[in-house]
Structure 1
């Protein structure tokens, strides 16, 4: 499954792409505004690239409920980061995490190559904007608009419902002119789902991978990890890496994670176990005089 995304080539039959998270928000789920300042956001993105991230995902509004952010304010948050990172590191993939077509248009013009839409193309103009730019899109499952209070999550069969939603949204994108080889899917762990739903999605993720498009998962520090391990947000790295690894084994090929250094090691080890990557060196028990 070869894809050219931005200026990078990926063979998702042979590799897993690591996506770093850059939150240009004062109320982000995990970092609580640590990268809200423009210089901190740009520094964080460039550091992620230095550590080996293939991709940075720049967001200006969290998914969860919170104070309203205007379209212009969201543009003002994400576009300067995208422009600065593009100028400094043109080889890294940049995506914009937004559900607004106007923000996507501005971000793509500034250098983003991907729209990461957690609303699953909820904005009726979004697919057309992506098609016009010949950009990539991540179509994510969620229920209803972001940033609002919703009823308790309920699904008759969460995996079947998520799969059906993604298939319908993929068809919608294609009908609007988005090429199939520009589409990525994400089951949306924890987005309008409870912990049991997210665990079920992880167990049966191969059913989502069977759609046949590159599969992204965003499990880093999510509440389902915290509730499964009884850990607060700051102590969820081990659980997040375990969830990520399970997803890779089930077919995920793009992972959106906060701790890039630890993620790179876990991904490289998983790729080696799967036979996707040869070890960087072979020394152990290979020399005839090796002492056991």
Structure 2
């Protein structure tokens, strides 16, 4: 899953693809480099970021979703708002990737059921404007696992297709460095529940704290390594900024395995 942020303020690539034509060109390049899914987002979720209006979010993402879907790309929509998701699905997106696990907007779950769209449910502690503050975890892997399985069960009970649900433990959303690493190493515990697991470690700030590399775009070597570790521990999807580096790392990993 390649990241296509259409925002001015995302932590790594904010402003790079604010122009829809550039975002479409880059998305198609990511597909040519080996991306299976393009995750288009119009609202930054970095800690401390301010929310944007649904109208502004739609204005940012719809031309990009339409342009990419028209070229046959599988588009995921990174949003927590039902009105934005509905417009994006109508424009050709096939997946809704919701950082709130369908909690921020009560209309999101009925939309998923009605459209039978695929959905990624992510664990998040707190909100971006609160810098994802919240109570400490007893056992981060088990706490996150229990939350995500509860959210998945709620979707199934409401009428969503079980096979269309993926789970994301939410690296970087209110976790400490050691908790981030534990969640990658514990991906199998989540995958054993029968849902595909998505891991998004790419360029995250915890990599900077581990390596001393301050600039997010310079964290691709560690990001590729963590993508391999995620797959080794049971992840089915890795969400990345650098598609060629990740594809190379995974190809060598598969050969070694």
TM over 0.5: yes
TM-score by length of 2: 0.95
Bigger relative contact order, structure 1 or 2, given CA contacts below 8 A and separation 6+?
1
Whole-Å Cα distance in 1 between the matches of residues 198 and 132 of structure 2? 25
Match of residue 94, structure 2, among 98, 113, 126: 113
Q: Which residue of 2 aligns with 1:76?
A: 59
Q: Which residue of 2 aligns with 1:30?
A: 12
Whole-Å Cα distance in 2 between the matches of residues 83 and 77 of structure 1? 11
Higher helix share: 2
Aligned residue pairs total 254
Distance apart, 1:150 and its partner CA: 4.0
Q: Which residue of 1 aligns with 2:25?
A: 43
Q: Which residue of 2 aligns with 1:243?
A: 226
1:55 aligned to 2:24? no
Q: Which residue of 2 aligns with 1:255?
A: 238
Structure 1 portions without partners, runs of 5+: 1-18, 275-292
Structure 2 portions without partners, runs of 5+: none
Distance apart, 1:272 and its partner CA: 2.6
Listed one character per residue, the Cα deviations across residues 192-224 of structure 1 (whole Å, up to 9, x for unaligned) are 112121011122222112121111110100111
Match of residue 197, structure 1, among 179, 184, 196: 179
Task: Give every structure 1 segment of 4 or more consecutive aligned residues whose post-TM-superposition deviation is greater than 3 Å.
Answer: 144-150
Q: Could you tell me whether the CA contact under 8 Å between 1:142 and 1:192 is conserved in 2?
A: yes
Q: Which residue of 2 aligns with 1:230?
A: 212
Whole-Å Cα distance in 1 between the matches of residues 135 and 231 of structure 2? 26
> Over the residues paired in the alignment, what is the CA RMSD in angstroms?
1.4
Whole-Å Cα distance in 2 between the matches of residues 37 and 175 of structure 1? 40
SS state at 1:220 partner? coil
TM-score by length of 1: 0.84
